[in-house]
Amino acid sequence: MNEQYDIRNALETGSKILLYCTLFGLVLILAWFSFFILFGGFVYGIHSKLFSISIDRFYFANYLFMGFAKLIVILLFLIPYISVRLALRKQR
């Protein structure tokens, strides 16, 4: 087989994996947000009994970590996916 074909095939496979990881990460963040909006009071009730935490700190921590998770998904999966797709487009 041609070495150029092998590299292109590996990049195609890698880009698919990165796309699936991006979609999976965004679905998890959306599920977290939905769960937080729908059952936030219930979850706060459980956490306030386990930890001495105010509702403001609870909301702040959740939004902070949701933003951190979104940043991680974008930096680790979406940007590499876009760069691999652009490299494959340039090879044609």
Per-residue model confidence as pLDDT tens digits over 22-41: 999 999 999 999 999 999 99
Q: Identify the residue whose tokens are 């340039």.
A: 90
Listed by start position, the domains of the chain span: 3-91
Q: Identify the residue whose tokens are 């599920």.
A: 31
Record the pTM. 0.84
**Would you state the structure tokens that stand for residue 92, as one six-digit string?**
């044609």
pLDDT score of 25: 97
Dihedral, CA atoms, 7, 14, 75, 56, nearest 10 degrees? -170
Ramachandran angles phi, psi of 52, nearest 5°: -85, 90
**Would you state the structure tokens that stand for residue 76, as one six-digit string?**
């680790």
Q: What is the pLDDT of residues 62-88, one digit of tens each?
A: 999 999 999 999 999 999 999 999 999
